[in-house]
Amino acid sequence: MYTKRLLRAATLAASLTVGAAGTALADARDYEFRLVTTEVKRGEAMIAVRLVHKATGRAVPDAVIYATRLDMAPDGMPTMTTPVGAVPGGEPGTYRFRADLVMAGGWQFTLTAKVQGEEGTVESRLNLRAVP
């Protein structure tokens, strides 16, 4: 009887260990931002990005975006920056920003965010084009 209990306990412990290993949390590297559109009009522009889980392609809502930068690094002018402001609303997993793109050409949008329940941060550098 003691041996049966010991065997059951060992089997239960082994199954819990296997189950726990199979439910590992994702990593911040499993997420990325993607531009909704890669071209915007020069001037007052609305830029929309979607945060997605790479493996599933599903949009990820409720991320905390705590750093943004918009500069002309793709055109060799990384010091040419413009302020970026978050715009509330939109569909879950899509984040919108307003910026004044004073010049036509290539712009790089850098975002840093925290995904709820994940370790680390998500950082993406996205290239877009401002057209006249």
Strand 84-87 to 94-101 pairing: antiparallel
CATH of the domain at 86: 2.60.40.10
Domain count for the chain: 1
Question: Residue 93: inside a domain, yes or no?
Answer: yes
Question: Residue 100: inside a domain, yes or no?
Answer: yes
Question: Residue 35: inside a domain, yes or no?
Answer: yes
Question: Residue 14: inside a domain, yes or no?
Answer: no
- Domain of 53, in residue numbers: 26-131
pLDDT for res 28: 81
pLDDT for res 26: 63
Structure letter (DSSP) for residue 59 = B
Question: Residue 51: inside a domain, yes or no?
Answer: yes
- Report CA-CA distances (Å) from 104 to 33, 63, 97, 108, 123: 23, 30, 18, 13, 25
Question: Residue 1: inside a domain, yes or no?
Answer: no
Average pLDDT of each block of 10 consecutive residues along the chain (132 residues)?
Answer: 44 38 62 97 96 95 96 97 94 96 97 93 97 95
Question: Residue 21: inside a domain, yes or no?
Answer: no
Q: What is the pTM of this model?
A: 0.78
